[in-house]
């Protein structure tokens, strides 16, 4: 007898492979379906069991009615539109939703929040934690950053999933949540106050947004990253 895996719609920039995200979904027992601007994401959600909104380029300030910023140099407005629509469609359908890095940021915008265009510019010398690290070869660090410790609220679903109150994570971002959307709540921060995880105030079988990159650290954090993907895909599978 064949087993039907839960289909997970995975958003991406035009032409971006998002291989780590797809692998993480497959590893957790799901069937990823990649979509990009121009694809019928809302229609594809009709046959899906979950939505994964991935990382990538900056969110366009116009998406949250802010002025343009010299710190936003690689926006993709078409992607903002498709992801905002997909996030609302997933909520309407009651689909489990996981948002990662840019995914957290666009989710906050989708439900009425705003963003900081650039963390170093906003905090200046008060920035105490590295949220984006360049290695000596110029490449972005994709593993754990020792001082990037995320403190998780005791009552958060995320706390139950990873089983710890503090978690060392990776980080690859310069934008962050400014005003949290009214329909979301902050459930984790780093010591410098940057929002690191959001959960939904509205009813959902699973709704989680994290600012770090669990798809890249599945072999590095004692199972916490795999636990996030596992909980998400299990929630999706329970809807079949």
Domain edges within the chain:
7-237
**pTM, two decimal places:** 0.95
Annotated active-site residue in 101, 148, 173, 199: 101
Find residue 25's DSSP bridge partners.
none
How far apart CA 198 and CA 53 sit, in angstroms, is 13
CA angle at residue 40 from 64 to 16, to 5 degrees?
75
- Quote the CA–CA distance of 175 and 154 in Å, as a whole number: 26
User: Which residues is 107 bridged to in the sheet?
Assistant: none
Q: Whole-angstrom Cα distance, residue 53 to residue 91?
A: 13
Pairing verdict, β 176-177 and 115-116: antiparallel
Dihedral angle computed from the Cα positions of residues 182, 186, 191 and 193, in that order, rounded to the nearest 10 degrees: -10
Strands 176-177 and 184-189: unpaired
Query: Regarding the domain delimited by 7-237, which CATH topology (the fold level of the hierarchy) does it fall under?
Result: Rossmann fold (3.40.50)
Cα 205 to Cα 95, 122, 140, 215, distances in angstroms: 7, 35, 34, 21
Residues of the chain short of pLDDT 70, as ranges, are 1-2, 125-127, 240
User: Any idea what DSSP says for residue 192?
Assistant: T
214: its two tokens: 């669990």
Give the per-residue pLDDT at 125: 64
- Between CA 64 and CA 231 the distance in angstroms is 30
pLDDT at 135: 80
d(CA 18, CA 191): 30
166 and 188 Cβ atoms separated by less than 8 Å = no
Angle, alpha carbons 226-119-217 (nearest 5°): 15
The tokens for 19 are 């291989």
- Assess whether 215 carries a catalytic annotation: yes
Give the model's pLDDT for residue 136. Answer: 78
C-alpha R_g of the chain: 17
Q: State the pLDDT at residue 240.
A: 66
Residue 199: the pLDDT is 98
Tell me if residue 213 is catalytic. yes
Residue 122 appears among annotated catalytic residues: no
Q: How many CB atoms lie within 10 A of CB 52?
A: 30
Q: How much is the pLDDT for 126?
A: 64
Question: Which pLDDT belongs to residue 1?
Answer: 47
């Amino acid at each position: 007898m064949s087993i039907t895996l839960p289909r997970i719609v995975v958003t991406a920039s035009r032409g971006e492979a998002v291989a780590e995200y797809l692998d993480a979904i497959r590893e957790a027992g799901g069937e990823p379906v990649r979509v990009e601007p121009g694809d019928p994401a809302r229609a594809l959600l009709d046959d899906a069991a979950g939505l994964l909104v991935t990382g990538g380029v900056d969110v366009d300030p116009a998406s949250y009615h802010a002025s343009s910023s010299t710190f936003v140099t690689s926006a993709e407005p078409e992607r903002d539109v498709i992801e905002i629509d997909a996030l609302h469609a997933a909520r309407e359908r009651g689909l489990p939703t996981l948002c990662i890095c840019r995914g957290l940021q666009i989710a906050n915008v989708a439900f009425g929040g705003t963003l900081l265009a650039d963390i170093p510019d906003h905090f200046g010398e008060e920035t105490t934690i590295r949220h984006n690290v360049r290695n000596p070869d110029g490449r972005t660090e994709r593993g754990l950053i020792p001082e990037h410790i995320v403190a998780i609220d005791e009552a958060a679903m995320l706390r139950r999933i990873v089983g710890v109150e503090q978690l060392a994570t990776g980080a690859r971002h310069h934008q962050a949540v400014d005003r949290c959307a009214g329909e979301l709540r902050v459930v984790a921060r780093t010591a410098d106050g940057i929002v690191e995880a959001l959960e939904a105030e509205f009813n959902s079988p699973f709704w989680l947004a994290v600012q770090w990159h669990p798809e890249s650290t599945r072999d590095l954090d004692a199972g916490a990253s795999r636990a996030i993907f596992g909980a998400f895909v299990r929630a999706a599978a329970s809807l079949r």
